[in-house]
Structure 1
């Protein structure tokens, strides 16, 4: 079957984005939802327990998670220089937020994989833990490769 260049790049872009949503977007949204929910309970914010308020925290968490997934997909497709787009202030904020989020997601994914491996000695749990660890390693490898490619490109300018 013949795939045109535009269709092939669309497929690559779509698969990359879906992969980052699964590996980065949803975990970030989940963790952020727990953190914001706990903070709201600790601060006794009763308005967040009503129906509109109870949708606010998961909604904000999901938007932030999807935005980070989009940034990760852009980095995988275009290299680390893609974070520098826009004004200097936005680029610095984008770099800092992405670095903290990426490190947190990788640490959390590796921790979850290690927990699954050591939880029980059932073969399905071990395989699941190994797949999670492999996914984290793959994301780390691809992000590092893009980062170093961007650094080499920056030195050659």
Structure 2
């Protein structure tokens, strides 16, 4: 996929996900670099609640919470052990993946966005601002509230 096609695809996904989540802001991946690379196993996967966007709307992907067990840190400021990250997924990852390598991008909610794609080869400069989180809670809500809503659904 060309870089232009990849950006266009991300823009369309942002629009669809943004429409679906109403006043909650959701964003697709649009990155050029990563902050950390880890080897980890997915422990649990919780989709955020999908809001009704109408009869003429198709939701392809939306934000999920992934709990990971970080076994090895290849680069970046991440501790081994339990880590929760945000991901944009269509469905859950297979449960039999075991430990694999993942690239992460710091986000403005104080955590990490999980990046997809092997094409992201550059580390972010240490002074780079964090990326926008894949989902931003409404005023008066927290990411924990959104996670709880998704788990309860």
Return the TM-score normalized by structure 2: 0.26
Which has the bigger relative contact order, CA under 8 A and spacing at least 6?
Answer: 2
Q: Find the structure with the greater CA-based Rg.
A: 1
Whichever structure has more helix as a proportion of its residues is: 1
Return the TM-score normalized by structure 1: 0.25
Whichever structure has more strand as a proportion of its residues is: 2
